[in-house]
A and B are shown apart, each in its own frame.
Chain A
Amino acid sequence: EAEVAQSPRYKITEKSQAVAFWCDPISGHATLYWYRQILGQGPELLVQFQDESVVDDSQLPKDRFSAERLKGVDSTLKIQPAELGDSAMYLCASSLIWRGGRGNNEQFFGPGTRLTVL
């Protein structure tokens, strides 16, 4: 069964260091999402891609976070410099393509990367 792949699964870093997370969506899924989930809360959308284009990055802290999906397939989320408050689970999800407002809301999640900033 097709799955969303993420790596690493766990990352421990010191504050002010740079970290990067990778995501490979389900084949054929043009829409890719990065979420941050703080313990005890629901996932919060950071950035959404349609193919290689950013659709929504309104909640992405752009002073330290960046995301790219250069070829419209896999994606990288970077944090530089990391801060203590960035400790969270970072989830990647994908869904079928959206065209003209038509599509399926069902999103498939990867296993996540648990980040701990010391």
Chain B
Amino acid sequence: EDKVVQSPLSLVVHEGDTVTLNCSYEVTNFRSLLWYKQEKKAPTFLFMLTSSGIEKKSGRLSSILDKKELFSILNITATQTGDSAIYLCAGGATNKLIFGTGTLLAVQP
């Protein structure tokens, strides 16, 4: 059965801290690994990773995929209160996404 597991389930940090969110996956016909940010609304797209070892960056966020170990991490540097959200990881198969339960990040001033 396909599954995506995220850790930690929740995390509380202070502004300026660096955080690393983890995602492991077992997905049949795996094609890509996606990260989404979800505040009190629908998920918004962050990254899509298809190749191992190639880091994708967007401002203070970066992510990398390890297809051998079936693992991805999302890093956020110099966190801000606006980064507080649920971060969802999804394994992309041929034509569907399998989501993890998410990591709830709370950034305190």
State which residues 35-81 of B face A: CB under 8 Å: 36, 41-45, 48
* Contact A107–B97 (Cβ < 8 Å): yes
Main secondary structure on B side of the interface with A: strand
In this assembly, does B34 line the interface, its C-beta being within 8 Å of a C-beta of chain A?
Answer: yes
**Does A31 sit at the interface, judged by CB under 8 A?**
yes
Compute the total of residue contacts between A and B using a CB distance below 8 Å. 54
A101-B94 in contact (CB<8A): yes
Contact B34 A42 (CB under 8 A): no
B25 to chain A, nearest CB (A): 12
Smallest CB–CB gap between A94 and chain B, Å? Answer: 12
Chain B residue nearest to A109 in the complex (CB): B42
Which of B41, B45, B90, B101 gathers the greatest number of chain A CB atoms within 10 Å? B41
Contact mask for chain B residues 77-90; partner A; CB cutoff 8 A; 1 contact, 0 none: 00000000000101
A57 to B45, CA, bound (A): 24
Flag if B48 contacts A103 (CB, 8 Å): no
Residues of B contacting A45 with CB < 8 Å?
96-97
Q: What is the bound-complex CA distance between A29 and B68, given in angstroms?
A: 32
Residue contact B43 to A43, C-beta cutoff 8 Å: yes
Q: Which residue of B lies closest to A50 (CB)?
A: B95
Q: Does A65 contact B (CB under 8 A)?
A: no
Kindly report which residue of chain A lies nearest to residue B47, judged by CB atoms.
A106
Q: Hey, which bits of chain A sit against chain B, CB under 8 A?
A: 31, 33, 40-45, 48, 50, 55-56, 91, 98, 101, 103-112
B residues at A contact (CB < 8 Å): 4, 31-32, 34, 36, 41-45, 48, 88, 90, 92, 94-97, 99-102
Other than A108-B45, A109-B44, give 7 A-B pairs with Cβ distance below 8 A. A42-B99, A44-B99, A45-B96, A48-B95, A50-B95, A105-B92, A112-B41
24 A–B contacts, CB within 8 A, in A order: A31-B95, A33-B96, A40-B101, A41-B101, A42-B4, A42-B88, A43-B88, A44-B99, A45-B96, A45-B97, A48-B95, A48-B96, A91-B43, A98-B95, A103-B95, A104-B48, A105-B34, A106-B34, A109-B42, A109-B43, A110-B42, A111-B41, A112-B41, A112-B42
